[in-house]
Each structure stands twice: as C-alpha cells, then as structure tokens.
Amino acid sequence: MGDIDPQLLILEITETSIMVNEEIAQQNLRQLSDAGVMLSIDDFGTGYSSYSYLQQLPVQEMKIDKSFITTLLTEKNNERLVRSMITLGKDLGINVLAEGIETPEIQQQLIDMGCQYGQGFLISRPLPATKIVEWLDATDWNTNHSR
C-alpha cells in the first residue's frame, strides 16, 4: 500500500476492543498516538466506563453514538446527554463527532449545540473508496456552512 502519513489516519476504538486486554491495548494505543495516529472513541456513551477512557487514553476524538442522535429531537434526556457530551469533549480538547445524522433538523440542533463534526445518511450514504474523491469534488459538505 505504500507509506502513509500516520497523521492522516484515524483509528476508531470501542470499549469492548480495549477490554480484552486493557493493559496491552492501552500500551499499543499510546504507541500509535506517539506515532501520530489520531484515536477516536466510537459509540461514545454506550459503555460503562467511557469517561475513564477519556482520561486514560490519548484520544483526540469521541463519536457520540447514533442511538442518542436519532432521538435527539424527541427525547429530552437525550438532548441533555448530547449537550453534556459535546461540552465534555470541548472542555477536554477532544473533537466531537455525532453519528447518525439523518435529517436537517437534527443537523441544525447539533450545530446549535456546538457539535463540531457529523456523519450520517443526510451527508452521504456509504460509498466505495473509488467514489469518495468524486463525491468530495461534487459536494458542498466540505465548506464551513450548513445547508
């Protein structure tokens, strides 16, 4: 595959992948981080000790699980939880990404809450690698404004 700049890579990790052997996992993740690989906690908020991983691991991003996002406008408690997760991430200097954005209303609510990044069917359906560059050239999602 050739040489890839490690700073261009984002490794998504879940709690379950760390729990198999926590000590070795933490050691390996620190080595990857030291090499410049960005670490992202996937499905944040669904595990029992997500907050402890934010302290223990050298993560640069947390992805708020889509189960919180899809009901953001209908479940008042989810709105509070998502707002708290966004604030926590920002306070810790961690990028915050919302998973499962499917409507413009949810997207706008996340923007209003200060969420920095998002993914979901509203933005794009999954694409094969050969179509990504074409999509990036044609989309206006890579600009600093909302639709």
CATH number at residue 134: 3.20.20.450
Q: Is residue 94 part of a domain?
A: yes
pTM of the model: 0.82
Q: Does a structural domain hold residue 55?
A: yes
Domain that holds residue 127: 6-138
Q: Residue 146 domain-assigned?
A: no
Domain contains 147: no
1 in any annotated domain: no
- What is the SS3 assignment for the chain? CCCCCHHHCEEEECHHHHHCCHHHHHHHHHHHHHCCCEEEEEEECCCCCHHHHHHHCCCCEEEECHHHHCCCCCCHHHHHHHHHHHHHHHHCCCEEEECCCCCHHHHHHHHHHCCCEECCCCCCCCCCHHHHHHHHHHCCCCCCCCC
pLDDT band at 143 (very low <50, low <70, confident <90, very high): low
Residue 145 lies in a domain: no
Over the stretch 115-130, which tens digit does the pLDDT of each residue have? 999 999 999 999 998 8
Please count the structural domains in the chain. Answer: 1
